[in-house]
Structure 1
Amino acid sequence: MHKTSDRNSLNSHYKLPDWLIEVIEDLDSCIAQRHFEDAIDLLKKSEEYLDNSRDSMELYDIKLSLNNRTTFLVHTLTNELELIAESKSLQGGGYRFSKKAVKLLTQLHRCTQASQLYLMVCSATLKARLEKVKRDGATSCYIKRLSSIAISNISEMLCDFLDIFSHTKKCTSALVIWCSHELKILTTHLSKQMFLPHVSLNALGECLTTIRSHCEQMIHLGIDIRYQFDIQLRSTLAKTLSETKEKYMDSVKIRSLEDNWRPSNFESPQNFYKLKSELEILGIPMLKILDINKYSIPLTSNTLAFSKLYIGIVEDCLNIYVPEIIITVQNVLLSILQIQLQHLLSSLSNCRYKQQIPLIRNNMLYFNVLIDRTLELYRSVVGYQFDRLYILKKKFSYELKQSSMKPQPAPRNSVTKYSTIEYI
């Protein structure tokens, strides 16, 4: 670093202060011993002195030497940060040191370079921390742990970034791009864990609810990553819902074929009141107008099973709902419900079930309760009425009303019997 020539040049001017004469050697010593803060203090002190001094050949040489040391210090700090970013373990407080190094670079007026290096370290640190999350237990548990750690770390890094670069706004765009990039990586990884055949819609809803709640914690920082998260999952969610619809439709069709149209008998008060409580919790209580004979109710096991299943589907669909897939959500809910309603209407007109017509009507009447609950849940989440379901309800109610107005066939024992064959 030409120490001898630098020092001879400085000593040639007796009016220079002693500390300035020794400043180049002191800088070299500080950098070598990794006393970077002291080195920057010396640089600032030297710059202030030179700014208030008249130009001369001696001072020009000092400025040149200081510029060389500044460049070397920047090079040293950037190398340190690059090594931290490339480290696989990131042990020994690498992330904490990186914040100090970045702050020093900003003091050397290298904000853009400092922000890029800092975000590289953040990416490496985040990756290393997430790799430590064990995949034991249920998928939902792993997803909750992973998303919690990921979002809390991203939030911490965002706060640190905003603190370090609070004096400049030109680095904010780099932060937004970095955040979007990391969220995309996280979303891709989470998708591979969540959207699997063995993961139920209910478990998926729980996972998404948890992730979204974690994302909302960052809104106070001015970045809405929940919206970005939902957008990235839009097509995958729509595909999963469509597949779920087909699965449930097939299941409902099979159960409908097995329906024997018999009232449900619970045989004991414990069983009866347990069901009554379950239905009330789901928001689909039994109608008071139903003729309940002891522990036998005029609702079939098929109707009860479907009602509980359907409310679960409604809640699961609304848990994963985002405005961009609302039509898909509606199609799922309507398609599954229409299969069951069609079963009721076809049974009502089936000659095999003439004796069960009062029972069928009671079941149809109960479906108004189910539809009303669905409309209520939908509006509470989406914020407006489910018009397509409301129209379906009106049509179904009309069919029920029309069926009650049709004359019933006379029972077989009322047919007139002749005592003679005279009229035959």
Structure 2
Amino acid sequence: KIKKEWLDILEETKKNKILIEKCKKEDPSCPLVAADVSGNTALKEKKTVKEEKEEKINLSLDWIQELPDNLDVCIAQRNFEGAVDLLAKLNSYLQDKPSTYAVQELRAKVDPRVKHLIDVLVFELSPNRSLRGGPKATRRAVSQLVRLGQSTKACGLFLQNRATAVQTAIRQLRIEGATLLYVHKLCNVFFTSLLETAKEFEMDFTGDNGCYSAFIVWSCSALKMFVDAFSKQVFDSKENLSTAAECVKVAKEHCKHMSEIGLDLTFILHAFLAKDLKAVLQSNKDIIIEATKHRNSEEMWRKMNLMTPEALGKLREELQNCGVRNFDQYIGEDCWVNISYTILAFTKQIMFFLEEALKLYFPELHMVLLENLIEIILVAVQHVDYSLR
């Protein structure tokens, strides 16, 4: 409407100018009254429009006059929802209204209080204030920061708070008893916290897609924190392959459960564990090779006499559990077995190694596992080859 009025004034001014120029050509003494009249008209119109704008914005309402004081009261009483409601009401009222001097003056009173409110909400999200209640304890402050247009800040503070909470929970775990028992506790604490954090995050930041990438980054860093604690207890303490395999299996199973909410961190867990798992396989391979060489040095190539059917049955069961299904073809008469002790011990050891190593298996370890198996088998083959010469 205002634009149309100005265009009309401009058009009228152009017409007056043309008339004046025409008048000058016909009569040089023609007065410039028309131009003055036009100018005065424009000023009057401009003044009228400005006055209309001022009149449209009524800031004398009681709730507007009392708003700064009410904000102070709400913040002091920790009524954050009430404070944000007042601000939302004001913003809605001033929406699509021009920024007059009176509005600017009101904003100058309100803005410092908004900043103070944000500072208080940020303090509410500090770890010392909201660690005990879990992720839900942060919901109130986070939701109000989001309403104030501070989603990015709320997201960062929420994730920082949860990182501290997870770290504290891991540190408070007592390292006692068997390693596998500790790993069960560690996995329960960490992955339960991660699941709760993911659900709370989705609830607080629904529709804010920009924050989800921050959550993924945070999840990776939190998982690294978990792996550090896990590796320190499982790998640094030089646990045997069987224990290490069981511990890794437990961690992988817990990690897979996260995919139920759309958060698949399994491949990241593999990447973090790869170095330690390679070292474990290498270490156990060296132990097997050393033991094999020692037995080979005492090899007499004599078949075994197990003496009793019970002992023979027990050996058959052991080998079947290891995956050897054709053992019966090596059984002779009267509990004799046509295999030397060295070959039997090597078979049981390498099958056990393979079974436990497969619990650790993931694609990145494929070649490492194959290379270790080849090295172990070559030691036995070379001994047989040497004996046949």
Range class of TM-score, shorter chain? 0.7 to 0.9
SS in 2 for 1:298: strand
Tell me the CA shift for residue 341 of structure 1. Answer: 2.4
Tell me the CA shift for residue 199 of structure 1. Answer: 0.5
C-alpha offsets along residues 219-258 of structure 1, whole Å, 9 cap, x if unaligned? 2444332111211222332233222222210111111222
The range that moved more, 122-131 or 184-193, is: 184-193
- Counterpart residue identity of residue 148, structure 2: L
Match of 2:256 in 1: 216
Confirm or deny that 1:69 pairs with 2:110. no
C-alpha offsets along residues 138-197 of structure 1, whole Å, 9 cap, x if unaligned? 112212321232122112212211221112111122112211212222222222222236
Match of 1:20 in 2: 64
The range that moved more, 229-238 or 163-172, is: 229-238
Match of 1:303 in 2: 343
SS in 1 for 2:210: coil
C-alpha offsets along residues 66-94 of structure 1, whole Å, 9 cap, x if unaligned? 32222111111112223xx256x933x26
State the distance in 2 between where 1:24 and 1:94 align.
34
Tell me the CA shift for residue 314 of structure 1. Answer: 0.6
Tell me the CA shift for residue 35 of structure 1. Answer: 1.0
Confirm or deny that 1:315 pairs with 2:315. no
Match of 1:130 in 2: 170
Match of 1:50 in 2: 94
Tell me the CA shift for residue 19 of structure 1. Answer: 2.7
Between Structure 1 and Structure 2, which shows a larger proportion of helix residues?
2
Describe the shift of the 1:97–1:300 C-alpha distance in structure 2 as closer, same or farther (beyond 3 A).
same
Match of 1:265 in 2: 305
State the distance in 2 between where 1:242 and 1:14 align.
80
State the distance in 2 between where 1:189 and 1:262 align.
49
Check the 8 A contact 1:155/1:218 in 2, yes or no. yes
Confirm or deny that 1:90 pairs with 2:134. no
Check the 8 A contact 2:125/2:158 in 1, yes or no. yes
Tell me the CA shift for residue 218 of structure 1. Answer: 1.7
Check the 8 A contact 2:191/2:255 in 1, yes or no. yes
Larger-gyration structure (1/2): 2
C-alpha offsets along residues 99-144 of structure 1, whole Å, 9 cap, x if unaligned? 2111110010001111111111011111111122221111122123
Tell me the CA shift for residue 212 of structure 1. Answer: 1.3
State the distance in 2 between where 1:285 and 1:15 align.
91
Q: Provide structure 1 residue ranges, at least 5 long, that are not aligned to the other structure.
A: 1-12, 350-424
- Counterpart residue identity of residue 304, structure 1: L
Describe the shift of the 1:337–1:168 C-alpha distance in structure 2 as closer, same or farther (beyond 3 A).
same
Describe the shift of the 1:21–1:213 C-alpha distance in structure 2 as closer, same or farther (beyond 3 A).
same
The range that moved more, 208-217 or 219-228, is: 219-228
Describe the shift of the 1:322–1:142 C-alpha distance in structure 2 as closer, same or farther (beyond 3 A).
same
State the distance in 2 between where 1:104 and 1:316 align.
52
State the distance in 2 between where 1:39 and 1:340 align.
78
SS in 2 for 1:224: coil
- Counterpart residue identity of residue 38, structure 1: G
Indicate which of 237, 240, 244 corresponds to 1:204: 244
Equivalent runs, 1:147-158 vs 2, <5 Å = 147-158=187-198
State the distance in 2 between where 1:135 and 1:304 align.
39
State the distance in 1 between where 2:269 and 2:331 align.
50
- Counterpart residue identity of residue 293, structure 1: E
Check the 8 A contact 1:201/1:316 in 2, yes or no. yes
- Counterpart residue identity of residue 202, structure 2: L
Equivalent runs, 1:365-404 vs 2, <5 Å = none
State the distance in 2 between where 1:256 and 1:220 align.
51
Describe the shift of the 1:201–1:289 C-alpha distance in structure 2 as closer, same or farther (beyond 3 A).
closer
SS in 2 for 1:299: strand
State the distance in 2 between where 1:220 and 1:344 align.
52
State the distance in 1 between where 2:205 and 2:131 align.
23
Check the 8 A contact 1:95/1:125 in 2, yes or no. no
Equivalent runs, 1:143-292 vs 2, <5 Å = 143-196=183-236, 198-292=238-332
Tell me the CA shift for residue 284 of structure 1. Answer: 0.2
SS in 2 for 1:136: coil
The two structures, once aligned, show a CA RMSD in angstroms of: 2.3
Confirm or deny that 1:38 pairs with 2:78. no
Match of 1:422 in 2: none
State the distance in 2 between where 1:148 and 1:162 align.
21
State the distance in 1 between where 2:114 and 2:171 align.
38
Q: Provide runs of 4+ in structure 1 moved above 6 Å.
A: none
Describe the shift of the 1:69–1:208 C-alpha distance in structure 2 as closer, same or farther (beyond 3 A).
same
Check the 8 A contact 1:90/1:125 in 2, yes or no. yes
State the distance in 2 between where 1:94 and 1:332 align.
45
- Counterpart residue identity of residue 326, structure 1: H
Among all aligned residue pairs of Structure 1 and Structure 2, give the percentage whose two residues are the same amino acid.
28
Confirm or deny that 1:29 pairs with 2:73. yes
Q: Provide structure 2 residue ranges, at least 5 long, that are not aligned to the other structure.
A: 1-56
